[in-house]
A = this chain, B = another copy of it.
Amino acid sequence: MINTLYLPELREMLATHDVAGLQEFCSALHPGRTAEFMEGLTAAEAWAVLLATDLSSRAEIFGFLPEEIQTEIVEISDPQEISELIAQMPPDDRVDLLNQVDPAVVEATLPLVPTEERRDILRLRAYPEGTAGAVMTTEVAKLSETLTVRVALEELGRQAEDLETIYYIYLVDDEDHLRGVVGARQLVMHLGKPETRLADLMERSLVTVEATDDQEDVAEKVADFDFLAIPVVDDQQHLVGIITHDDVMDVFREEAEEDAYRAAAVEPLQDSYLQTSVLSLAWKRGVWLCILFGAALLTAFALKTYEEVIDKVTWLVFFIPLIMSSGGNSGGQSATLVIRALSNKDVTLDDTRTVIKRELIMGLMLGGVLALLGYLVGLWLIDATPYEILVIPITLLVVVIFGTLCGAGLPLLFRRLGVDEALMSTPFVTVLIDIGGVLIYMTVALRMITELQELTG
């Protein structure tokens, strides 16, 4: 959604080199709002606006611009100016940005970044995508546990502007081992006793994560404990960074997105829908479509095996799509419920029996209702004996039960085999149920319909 309210004024100011006006625009509002009002500008225009303001506001507003614009700005602007911007950005955000940018540009820009920041960037870039290390920031309020509340607050006041969060102060020993944490709340509550030592206030029992932990697990931990931030340590308990609540929120949004794509058999996108090229999108969709096509081919083979049945009793064909979609939909429901429950830890492998029992009852109930509806429709639509038409409700009942059991059972099986059950998308469950559905339908028909007796005889 583009907010075009300010665009003409901004362009006017750019054209007339109205630096004072641009400065005013950049400082009047929350940087997030300012960035919103800049949507619709080209990358070059946006950068020209930002150059009018001081480096600190520039970096702040820049951080709220859409990713595509950020990347483009870095790629088209003066490397020296960009290197200053990068040195000013939060450590985690700049690493994310550089990972998006053309490697040639990164190579040209990095040498211009001051040594300390450059080392930090290289260190963070070493952590694989999706780990705590890749999400964390290294700008953390780190103090010695021997300080007093007064000294700590003074120190904090000096560092405050550079820190991503000052709300937790992490206490370390001489070798940077994490020893405890003190909340800013604690400090404020002890303003009246400024000589209290931090060691006496600090919480020693800490919840930490390791830099190599999966970002999703980290996010769950932060959310479960209602933390503002969580400290990240290496394998020797050195404090290497923190992950803050806003990064956790981004992880949640990203993971929800990925789950939604997977459930529809699309490989998760890196960029937004319109930013992803048609070719790359075709690949992300085509791979899965071909796999599902291959599986669905088996239904064609199965039906060919029953060619004579179909030939003799044409009305059986009318109900093929109906029966398959009933099985597929009920199985898809079960799969989604069980996958969500597994990922929320509402269900574990220990609950396998309970889940299967519940889904069996569910299949009986849902299948029963659809069977009744199907029978009524069959009686109305088909010119056959009521006994023969029973093929439809019986098949529906069995297929829906088969669907719920497969849908619930497959994720549990995947989990037991150590495979991520979220990879098993609903369409995949559906196609398996389709194949089973054909076989069930034909088997029931062969047993119940007089004209077909000779085939089995």
Contacts and interface: CB of A to CB of B under 8 A. Distances in A.
B299 A322 contact: yes
A33 interface: yes
A104 interface: no
Contact of A366 (B272, B285, B438): B285
Copies in the complex: 2
A382 to B, nearest CB: 8
B274 A296 contact: no
By size class, the interface of chain A is: 35 or more
Interface string A295-319: 0110111011001001100110111
Given A185-B166, A320-B317, A272 B336 contact: no
Nearest to A396: B293
Name the residue in A259, A328, A341, A344 with the highest tally of chain B Cβ atoms < 10 Å from its Cβ. A328
A426 interface: yes
A395 interface: no
Contacts of A329: 265, 288-289, 292, 427
Given A160-B189, A326-B289, A362-B285, A321 B32 contact: no
Contact of A336 (B222, B245, B263, B354): B263
A180 interface: no
Interface stretch (A94-102, A170-178, A345-353): A345-353
Contact of A325 (B157, B188, B296, B319): B296
Interface in A237-265: 245-246, 248-250, 252-253, 255-257, 259-261, 263-265
A345 B1 contact: yes
Contacts of A420: none
A324 interface: yes
Contacts of A337: 261, 264, 266, 269, 273, 281
Given A154-B191, A314-B310, A362 B282 contact: yes
Interface string A144-187: 00000000011011001100001100000000000000001100
A394 interface: no
A285 B330 contact: yes
A281 B404 CA distance: 13
A370 interface: yes
Contacts of A263: 260, 263-264, 336, 426
9 contacts: A29-B205, A64-B225, A157-B190, A167-B228, A245-B249, A249-B252, A274-B358, A281-B362, A321-B324
Given A228-B245, A289-B330, 6 more contacts: A154-B191, A161-B189, A274-B351, A285-B362, A320-B320, A320-B321
The 10 closest A-B pairs by CB, nearest first: A256-B256, A264-B336, A273-B341, A272-B346, A299-B321, A226-B246, A32-B225, A303-B318, A300-B318, A296-B325
